[in-house]
């Protein structure tokens, strides 16, 4: 069975500080990995994805994530956050050749001035 664990339900951080949102997954087969962001009263927006190739992937809004197969992790990072990054972030996996997504429980990023 597949599962996604986001270790932190809330992450408070000051503006311009770096941030890391953690994601670990469990799967017996190859997966694709995604990070989505959800602003209040909106749907989910894709931040970045890992399908294959380089394990460091860059996304929109200055975010990047690194796929670590041995640790089954896909942590999201940003070197300097802005107030506008305040939102909920979801890590997701989908199975190779099987269009079914599994989402983590979400991490609320609260950027303080």
Partner 1 sequence: KAGVTQTPRYLIKTRGQQVTLSCSPISGHRSVSWYQQTPGQGLQFLFEYFSETQRNKGNFPGRFSGRQFSNSRSEMNVSTLELGDSALYLCASSLAGRGQGSSYEQYFGPGTRLTVT
Interacting residues with partner 1 (CB under 8 A): 32, 34, 36, 41-46, 49, 51, 90, 94-106
27-49 burial, b for 16+ CB within 10 Å, e for fewer? beeebbbbbbbeeeeeebeebbb
Q: Which is nearer to partner 1, 11 or 104 (CB)?
A: 104
State the nearest-atom distance from the C-beta of 13 to partner 1, in Å.
22
State the nearest-atom distance from the C-beta of 113 to partner 1, in Å.
26
Q: Which is nearer to partner 1, 43 or 113 (CB)?
A: 43
Q: Of 24, 27, 98, 97, whose CA–CA distance to 67 is shortest?
A: 24
Q: Where would I find the beta strands (DSSP E) of 60-106? A: 64-68, 73-78, 87-95, 98-103
Q: Which is nearer to partner 1, 36 or 75 (CB)?
A: 36
State the nearest-atom distance from the C-beta of 19 to partner 1, in Å.
21
In a 3-state reduction of DSSP, which class is residue 85?
helix
């Amino acid at each position: 069975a597949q599962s996604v664990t986001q270790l932190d339900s809330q992450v408070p951080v000051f503006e311009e500080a770096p941030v890391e949102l953690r994601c670990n997954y469990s799967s017996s087969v190859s997966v694709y990995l995604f990070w989505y962001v959800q602003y209040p009263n909106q749907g989910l927006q894709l931040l970045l994805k890992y399908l294959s190739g380089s394990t460091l992937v860059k996304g929109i809004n200055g975010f990047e994530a690194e796929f670590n197969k041995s640790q089954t992790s896909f942590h999201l990072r940003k070197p300097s956050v802005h107030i506008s990054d305040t939102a909920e972030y979801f890590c997701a996996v989908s199975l190779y050749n099987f269009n079914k997504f599994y989402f983590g429980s979400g991490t609320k990023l609260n950027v303080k001035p």
